[in-house]
């Protein structure tokens, strides 16, 4: 069984630029999560989807972050414009037990 | 008060000993509880989950849940150097909202 796929694995951008991350969950998993993990901290939930509907986005900074899950499968997370404090690893997880992808390490200069 | 609290550590145990990792949570409506292991530079990987009060064993790992005390723990028996990692506790509410603690760093010394 294939795991959760994410791309890119690494991204370096300058502040005020935009960036997008992609996640392909495990086949058949209705639940998909996006997390932000800053070094030394636990993952912080940004948004949770159930199929293509949003279950929880209370911690998503909506002035700059957006996410969608068209057709209830793949998902994209976008940041526009990026700030220095957005430097972190962005993790995607799927399923109730939350199987994680490898993450995208974002550096904002 | 954080919603999910863990001692940051580091917790150091000798090889072969029992490592005990603790987690407390504030939301009494929490329904499911998860332990993840995260190696440096890697993403979290699920170790086990528990839903009911009591103990749940899986190999060298035992999860313990006490909902009245809002406390969940993970015991690792016969600790190995390869168990050295950060252990994350995650708590899901009945609505499915997931909250992670900041993790406890475990070092197992040969």
Cβ pair B96:A31 closer than 8 A? yes
Range with lowest mean pLDDT among B30-34, B69-73, B78-82, B91-95: B91-95
The alpha-carbon gap from B68 to the nearest alpha carbon of chain A, in Å, equals 23
In this structure, the dihedral spanned by the alpha carbons of residues A55, B89, A46 and B98, taken in order and rounded to 10 degrees, is 10
* Residue B94: pLDDT band with limits 50, 70, 90: confident
Q: CA nearest A60: which of A32, A35, A23?
A: A35
Average pLDDT over residues B69-85: 97
Question: What does the pLDDT look like over A78-107, one tens digit per residue?
Answer: 999 999 999 999 999 999 889 999 999 999
Pick from B95, B109, B107, B106: nearest CA to B30: B95
Contact between B34 and A97 using a beta-carbon 8 Å cutoff: yes
For an interface test with B, give the residue of A98, A101, A102 to mutate (most B CBs within 10 A).
Answer: A98
Question: Do the Cβ atoms of B34 and A56 come within 8 Å?
Answer: no
Q: Quick check: A66 contacting B, CB < 8 Å?
A: no
CB within 8 Å: B100 and A98: no
CB contact under 8 A, A40 and B102: yes
User: Is A28 near chain B, with CB under 8 Å?
Assistant: no
State the pLDDT at residue A64.
Answer: 97
Rounded CA-CA distance B38/B102 in Å is: 11
Task: Give pLDDT, residue A35.
Answer: 98
For B58, residues 6+ apart whose C-beta sits below 8 A from its C-beta are B47, B48
**Nearest Cα residue to B82 out of B52, B21, B46, B37:** B37
Q: Is A38 near chain B, with CB under 8 Å?
A: no
N- to C-terminal Cα separation, chain A: 37
> How does pLDDT run along chain A (109 residues), one tens digit per residue?
689 999 999 999 999 999 999 999 999 999 999 999 999 999 999 999 999 899 999 999 999 999 999 888 999 999 999 999 999 999 999 998 899 999 999 999 9
Q: Are B10 and B107 in contact (CB under 8 A)?
A: yes
CA geometry: angle B62, B24, A42, nearest 5 deg: 90
A42 vs B32, B49, B103: nearest CB: B103
pLDDT at B12: 96
Give the pLDDT confidence of B28-73 residue by residue, as tens digits.
Answer: 989 999 999 999 999 999 999 999 999 999 999 999 999 999 999 9
Q: Are A105 and A10 in contact (CB under 8 A)?
A: yes
| Residue B77 near chain A (CB below 8 Å) | no
* Beta-carbon separation of B100 and A31 below 8 A: no
The Cα of B98 is separated from the nearest Cα of chain A by a number of Å equal to 7
Backbone angles phi, psi at A15, to 5 degrees: -60, 150
Backbone angles phi, psi at A84, to 5 degrees: -55, -40
Please give the pLDDT value at position A52.
86
For residues A49 and A11, give the distance between their C-alpha atoms in angstroms, rounded to a whole number: 24
Residue B95 predicted with pLDDT over 80? no
Between positions 13 and 52 of B, the ones with CB within 8 A of A are 32, 34, 36, 42-46, 49
- Three-state DSSP class for B59? coil
Residue B98 has pLDDT above 80, yes or no: yes
Q: Report pLDDT for A1.
A: 61
**What count of Cα atoms within 13 Å lies in the side-chain half-sphere of residue A49?**
26
């Amino acid at each position: 069984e294939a795991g959760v796929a994410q791309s890119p694995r690494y991204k370096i951008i300058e502040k005020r630029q935009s960036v997008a991350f992609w996640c392909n969950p495990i086949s058949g998993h209705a639940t998909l999560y996006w997390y932000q993990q800053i070094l030394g901290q636990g993952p912080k939930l940004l948004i949770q989807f159930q199929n293509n509907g949003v279950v929880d986005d209370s911690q998503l900074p909506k002035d700059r972050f957006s996410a969608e899950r068209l057709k209830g499968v793949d998902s994209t997370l976008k940041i526009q414009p990026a700030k220095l404090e957005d430097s972190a690893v962005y993790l995607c997880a799927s399923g109730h037990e939350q199987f994680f992808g490898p993450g995208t390490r974002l550096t904002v200069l | 008060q954080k919603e999910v609290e863990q001692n940051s550590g580091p917790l150091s145990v000798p090889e072969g000993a029992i490592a005990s990792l603790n987690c407390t949570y504030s939301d009494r409506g929490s329904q499911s509880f998860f332990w993840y292991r995260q190696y440096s530079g890697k993403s979290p990987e699920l170790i086990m989950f528990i839903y009911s009060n009591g103990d749940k064993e899986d190999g060298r790992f035992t999860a313990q849940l006490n909902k009245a005390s809002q406390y969940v723990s993970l015991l690792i028996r016969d600790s190995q150097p390869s168990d050295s990692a950060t252990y994350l506790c995650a708590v899901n509410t009945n609505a499915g909202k997931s909250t992670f603690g900041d993790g406890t760093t475990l070092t197992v010394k040969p």
